A and B are shown apart, each in its own frame.
Chain A
Amino acid sequence: MPGVERLLPERRRHVVTKGDGTAVLPECGRPTVPGLVSERACAFYGARWMLGAIPDVIHLVHGPAGCAYFGGIVRRKSYRVFSTQLEESDIVFGAGEKLYRAILEAVAAAPGARAVLVYATCTAGLIGDDLDGICRRAARAVGRPVVPVNSPGFCGYSQAAGHDIAAGVLLEHFIGTGKAQEPVANGVNLLGEFDVMGDLGEIERLLQQLGLRILCAFSGRAATTAMADAHRARLNIVHCRRTGQRLADAMQERFGTPQLKVSFFGFEETASALHSIGKFFGSAGVEEIVEQGRREVGNAAPFLKKLAGKRVALFFGASRIGTMARAFAELGMEVVMIGSQFGCLEDYGDAGARVRAGTVLIDDPPEKELEEFIRKYRPHLFVGGTKEKYLATKLGVPFLVFPQEMSSFAGFRGFVNLAREAAGLVGAPVWRLARCERYYRTLQTAEG
């Protein structure tokens, strides 16, 4: 897109087209260009994304009311949040004592909680309270772990920094703290699986057929007790590289737990995931499960007819770009753009290998570039987050929201759901009706 390059030279190398003889992969992991409508979020957001679903701890946001309010919703689900709700006087005189009192009161208000997570926001980071010291002191007073999550919003270039901070917290304070050491013969962990709309249930159903048991899913099903036992798993299954890889590497180093990077999106990916997991455990009957899956996926046939040859643009957070590109190709769609907010070179390499020449790979596109892209390539379907949805819709392009809103997309059954939703969106009458000028014209010709 030539306009961008002239106006913003910083953005030049972030956009590449596969097979046009220039760079193969876009530049990534760079600071965001200021002044644009960035689709990225902050470290606090990333930390909440990773930790928000942990059920049996107190989530205490050390910051102003806004951060606590916004942080209460993670992946469109509402959670209880505690906050110090910092006011002007706290900024001037320091908020350490207030935080200490707040921790004690939070535990008194929710005495069943097994730990307290204290999230630092920009404000907390800037006024420079001794968060670690206060948390240590409070932990002694409440008799359970009080863990600082040092995630001021300005840390790093995107929410990815928050994912790493959160992973560090889990590793240091929660994972493998249980007393029992002996491995669970059929135990596995899922890393980077957040149980959006029942994804976890579908994956679990498949793993159960292999005779496996999920000890802990980070963090769709990660009670502190489950995390404490996570080191007993025989295998770590990494579902999302961005949020799971770091945990997997650290656990491999510390407990010797081997890891497998797989994906449960799309038929081929799910099948190969089951094959490799089955091979690891020497499970029998993988073929039957995959065959059964193939029959289930057959239900998607009527939808695939509608999707054949349609252009799709994908815009995700990070590491799903590769596997989702493959899943959408299985739907018979032509992937014309792959973008991510904070993907790494590995992610783009994965994605680039799975798409045909001419596909645009774009790193950290601001809203404006997505808009220009939509105009230039006119995809039949755009896949991305809520923020991008309404712009695409306004330009007349159907939009599928991720993380999904309606049904599970994981596993074989999820693939059928994905096909159904994509076909429903692409073929909906509203897009025809929306072109009212053309509509008026056809009416006139019909009457004339």
Chain B
Amino acid sequence: MRLREIPVDGIPYDRLCVEKIPAAPEYIARDPELVPASNRSVVVNPNRICMPIGAMWAVLGVHRAIPFVQGAQGCTTYARYTFCRIFKEPATIATASFHEDAAVFGGRKNVIEGIRNLVVRYWPGLIGVVTTCSSEIMGDDMVSFLKEARARLSREIGREKTEEIPIVLINTPSFAGSHVEGYDRASKAFLESLATTRDVLSERVNIIPGMLYPGDIREIRHLLEEMNVEGTVLFDISDTLDAPLNPPQEIPYYPPGGTPVSEIRQMANARATFALQPHAGGSGARYLERKFGIPAFIGPVPIGVAATDAFLQNLSRITGREIPASLRDERGRLVDAMADTLHHTMMKRVAIFGDPDVVIGMTRFACELGMTPVAVSSGTPSKTFEGEIESIFREYRELFLAEPRVFNGGDLFEFEEYLKTLPQIDLILGHSKGVDISRELEIPLVRVGFPIYDRFGYQKKPVVGYRGAELLLYEIVNELLDYRYPDDRTQQL
């Protein structure tokens, strides 16, 4: 309903309808040949973003770090809009401001001057240099450019001060992958350039959460605290992108928190690395395993009962700490809630889309609730996605009446058109780009995953861990109730 304000005399029926902007005024049945994304070159409503934004997300999770984007201004502006809209927080991202001259002569001048300007204006704790399609296609030799930039900086502010500001280069040619891959590359780039020496071993564990929201990271921290395990969360956006409003503020404004650079250096001394999302952060964990032999636990993302169990068991095994009674109680409460609401969730047909790891986690949780996933779509193509989904389906085989459809790397057009051919769907689980599908098909949407920008508070509400799963479960059930029952009926549930 797109009413600007509710008139005094009520809302007329003709204004209750949903405003749509179709490409053609009259509905035309789709050519079935064109529906599958694999059959066409054109992509309609892409379900993924490009690499640099994933890398920018990562850099924003480091204490006093500023991403420097080696590209045109739009590459940062669009990303800043996206972060602002998701987190309702300022996002400080510097741009190399490519104009025509950069496109002709390369971005050497931009990066050398840019790094200098960024440092003298902000004095950041770290600079994460993020490349884009333009700089990668032009073949900017970033390593030597950054050397020159450092030399220029030393001349101006002295060598010592220059040394204090590490620069991490993250190569993210947009056309070679999605935001998930960008985050993944950032995790590797940061560890390669900062966690270089394993000297004084510690009891700590490393957590690379992937593109999870502040609420999720806080929930992970809660699990660690209950387990009495100390951990370093790499790219901890929980404070940087969820800062308190507490004026007057110091100028320059830096958000509190973020992973300190010194802690990232210490990650080479950790006991184990947990990459919660194999596609976003797995490379970082594998790097530490290969280089220093630090055991890597890669996935699954702890959404739902079994995946959280697995995370805690691994944590318990590697640290020797028992899973405490408090967490067993949390688990018990989640399972209790699942039993209480089972009659609403069981056999509900659900469609799931988003980033690969979150979709895998959501699919498993949906199965745990007795729901029937009918279609799952990962916007980012993945080698392991189909296999993972299949193994979940094998485990919960008794639930399925029909074989669910798996889309690996498809767009939202394909997903929507497929859903239109299905008899009845009860629920869609996915991010904000699914709103149009949900309206068109009149199916409720429960918002999960990246990005959610059209509602408030989702970035703070965890979906991971037992408590997160419980909150998500209630949201699913309430959404089903809203759509399926008249209000008077819900008095007796």
User: Footprint of B on A, CB under 8 Å?
Assistant: 7-8, 31-45, 55-58, 60, 63-70, 72, 78-88, 90-91, 98-99, 101-103, 105-106, 108-113, 121-123, 125-127, 152-159, 197-198, 366-368, 371-372, 375, 386-387, 389-391, 393-396, 407-408, 434-436
Given contacts A153-B134, A395-B248, 20 further A-B contacts (CB under 8 A): A34-B96, A34-B117, A35-B113, A36-B117, A38-B95, A40-B97, A45-B77, A64-B50, A64-B133, A66-B174, A70-B49, A79-B21, A101-B40, A102-B42, A105-B40, A112-B25, A123-B174, A371-B251, A386-B85, A396-B249
Tell me whether A390 and B97 are in contact (CB under 8 A).
no
Contacts of A88 in B (CB 8 A): 173, 175-176
Let me know if A434 and B43 touch, CB within 8 A. no
Q: 9 closest A-B pairs (Cβ-Cβ)?
A: A112-B24, A66-B50, A42-B74, A35-B114, A396-B247, A153-B72, A35-B117, A34-B114, A110-B23
A44-B74 in contact (CB<8A): yes
- Cα distance A36–B138 in the bound complex, in angstroms: 22
> B80 to chain A: which residues have CB within 8 Å?
37, 387
Partner among A58, A65, A70, A122 whose Cβ is within 8 Å of the Cβ of B132: A122
Decide if B103 touches A68 in the complex (CB within 8 Å).
no
Docked-complex contact A371 and B41, CB < 8 angstroms: no
Q: Which residues of B contact A110 (CB under 8 A)?
A: 23-24, 28
B84 touches A84 (CB 8 A): no
CB neighbours of B179 from chain A (8 A): 66
Q: Please state if A396 and B42 are interface contacts (CB–CB under 8 Å).
A: no
- Taking a contact as CB atoms closer than 8 A, the residue among B97, B99, B110, B175 that contacts A123 in the complex is B175
Chain B 1-35 interface residues, beta-carbon cutoff 8 Å to A? 4-5, 21-26, 28, 30-31, 34
Decide yes or no whether B121 CB sits under 8 A from chain A: yes
Do A55 and B21 touch across chains, with their CB atoms under 8 A apart?
yes
Q: In the bound complex, do residue B100 and residue A154 qualify as a contact, i.e. CB atoms below 8 Å apart? A: yes
B121 A7 Cβ-Cβ under 8 A = yes
27 CB-based A-B contacts, threshold 8 Å: A8-B121, A34-B95, A34-B97, A35-B68, A35-B96, A36-B118, A38-B97, A40-B73, A44-B74, A64-B50, A64-B174, A64-B175, A69-B49, A80-B23, A83-B46, A88-B176, A90-B175, A109-B34, A109-B44, A111-B28, A123-B133, A366-B121, A387-B77, A390-B84, A390-B91, A408-B4, A436-B246
Taking CB atoms, residues of chain B closer than 8 Å to A121 are 133
Tell me the minimal C-beta distance from A71 to chain B in angstroms: 8
Known contacts A70-B82, A80-B44, A125 near B243 by CB under 8 Å: no
Q: Is the CB of B21 within 8 A of A396?
A: no
B243 touches A394 (CB 8 A): yes
A residues less than 8 Å from B93 (CB atoms): 37
Cα distance, A415 to B390, chains bound together (Å): 58
Complex Cα distance, B304 from A123, in Å, reads 41
Contact indicator per residue, chain B 87-118, by CB within 8 Å of chain A (1) or not (0): 01111111111111011000001110111111
Within 8 A of A (CB), among B241-277: 243, 245-249, 251-253
Say whether B95 contacts A153, CB under 8 Å: no
Q: How far is the CA of A146 from the CA of B28 in the complex (A)?
A: 21
Interface residue from B45, B52, B92, B98 paired with A153 (Cβ < 8 Å): B98
Contact of A35 with B118 in the complex, beta carbons under 8 Å: yes
Q: What is the bound-complex CA distance between A152 and B138, given in angstroms?
A: 14
Residues of the B chain whose Cβ atoms lie less than 8 Å from the Cβ of A44: 74
Q: B245 contacts which of A39, A155, A157, A393 (Cβ < 8 Å)?
A: A393
Cα of A68 to Cα of B46 in the assembled complex, Å: 7
CB of A367 within 8 A of CB of B117, answer no
Please give, as numbers and ranges, the residues of chain A lying within 8 Å of B132 by CB-CB distance.
Answer: 122
* Closest beta carbon of chain B to A7's beta carbon, Å: 5
The answer on a CB contact under 8 Å between B23 and A112 is yes
B116 touching A35 by the CB < 8 A rule?
yes
Q: Does B81 contact A (CB under 8 A)?
A: yes
How far apart sit A375 and B100, CA to CA, in the bound complex (Å)? 35
> Of A65, A82, A99, which contacts B48 at CB under 8 A?
A65
Q: Which residue from chain A places its CB closest to the CB of B26 in the assembled complex?
A: A112
Contacts of B389 in A (CB 8 A): none
Chain B, residue nearest A391 (CB): B90
* Given A8-B121, A66-B52, A389-B84, A407 and B5 contact (CB-CB distance below 8 Å): yes
Complex Cα distance, B89 from A386, in Å, reads 10
Name the distance in Å between A3's Cβ and chain B's nearest Cβ.
Answer: 9
User: Known contacts A70-B78, A102-B42, A375-B251; is A154 also within 8 Å of B95 by CB?
Assistant: no
Please name the residue on chain A nearest to B179 by beta carbon.
A66
Q: Which residues of B contact A98 (CB under 8 A)?
A: 41
User: How many A-B residue pairs lie within 8 Å, measured between CB atoms?
Assistant: 289
B44-74 vs A, Cβ < 8 Å mask (1 yes, 0 no): 1110111111000000000000101001111
Q: Does B75 contact A (CB under 8 A)?
A: yes
Are B90 and A390 interface neighbours, CB within 8 A? yes
Which residues does chain A contribute within 8 Å of B26, judged by CB atoms?
112
Give B residues with C-beta under 8 Å from A.
Answer: 4-5, 21-26, 28, 30-31, 34, 40-46, 48-53, 66, 68, 71-78, 80-82, 84-85, 88-100, 102-103, 109-111, 113-118, 120-122, 132-134, 137-138, 173-176, 178-179, 243, 245-249, 251-253, 413, 433, 435-436
Q: Is the CB of A126 within 8 A of B73?
A: no
Does A153 contact B40, Cβ atoms closer than 8 Å? no
Q: A391-B253, A394-B253 are in contact. Are A83 and B78 (CB under 8 A)?
A: no
CA distance A375 to B61 in the complex (A): 26
Most B Cβ at <10 Å: residue of A36, A152, A159:
A36
Q: Across the interface, which residues of A come within 8 angstroms of B133, CB to CB?
A: 63-64, 91, 121-123, 126
**Across the interface, do B43 and A123 meet the contact criterion of CB distance under 8 Å?**
no
Give the chain A neighbours of B92 by CB distance below 8 A: 37, 367
A122 contacts which of B71, B78, B96, B114 (Cβ < 8 Å)? B71
A68 to B130, CA, bound (A): 20
Residues in A neighbouring B174, C-beta threshold 8 A:
64-67, 123
A58 B23 Cβ-Cβ under 8 A = yes
Evaluate contact between B120 and A109: CB separation under 8 angstroms.
no
Bound Cα distance A152, B73 (Å): 11
Cα–Cα, bound, A99→B247 (Å): 52
Question: Given the complex of chains A and B, what is the CA–CA distance between A377 and B493 in angstroms?
Answer: 57
Could you tell me the distance between the alpha carbons of A82 and B413 in the complex, rounded to whole angstroms? 10
Report Cα–Cα, A44/B176, bound state, in Å: 20
Least CB distance, B244 to chain A, in whole angstroms: 9
Q: Please determine whether B138 and A155 come into contact, CB atoms closer than 8 angstroms.
A: no
Question: CA of A133 to CA of B102 in the docked complex: distance in angstroms?
Answer: 26
Cα A106 to Cα B245 in complex, Å, equals: 47
The reply to whether B24 and A368 contact each other, CB–CB distance below 8 Å, is: no
* Cα-based distance from A153 to B71 in the complex (angstroms): 9
The residues of B that contact A106 with a CB separation of less than 8 Å are: 42, 44
Q: A66-B52, A122-B133, A396-B247 are in contact. Are A101 and B41 (CB under 8 A)?
A: yes
A111 CA / B26 CA spacing, docked (Å): 10
When the two chains form their complex, are residues A105 and B42 in contact, meaning their CB atoms are under 8 A apart? Answer: yes
Point out the residue from B43, B78, B95 that lies within 8 Å of A37, measured CB to CB: B95
Contact A82–B175 (Cβ < 8 Å) = no
Give Cα A66 to B76, complex, Å. Answer: 12
Known: A126-B134, A394-B243, A396-B247. A65 touches B46 (CB 8 A): yes
Q: Are A396 and B245 in contact (CB under 8 A)?
A: yes
Check B95 against A56 for contact (C-beta < 8 Å): no
With A35-B116, A80-B45, A84-B43 in contact, is A154–B175 under 8 Å at CB? no
Q: Are B50 and A65 in contact (CB under 8 A)?
A: yes
Report whether B30 and A109 are in contact in the complex, using a CB–CB cutoff of 8 Å. Answer: yes
Tell me the nearest residue of chain A to B66, going by C-beta.
A37
Inter-chain contacts of B71 with A (CB < 8 A): 122, 153
Report chain B residues within 8 Å CB of A84.
41-43
Distance A290 CA – B76 CA, assembled complex (angstroms): 44
Given contacts A34-B97, A122-B71, whether A66 and B49 have CB atoms under 8 Å apart is yes
Residues of A within 8 A of B243 (CB): 394
A91 and B436 form a contact (CB under 8 A) = no
**A35, A45, A101, A394 — which one has the most chain B CB atoms within 10 A of its CB?**
A35
Determine whether the beta carbon of B110 is less than 8 Å from that of A34.
yes
Q: Report B-chain residues with C-beta under 8 Å of the C-beta of A123.
A: 133-134, 137, 174-175
Q: Are A35 and B94 in contact (CB under 8 A)?
A: yes
Expressed in whole angstroms, the minimum distance between the Cβ of B161 and any Cβ of chain A is 14
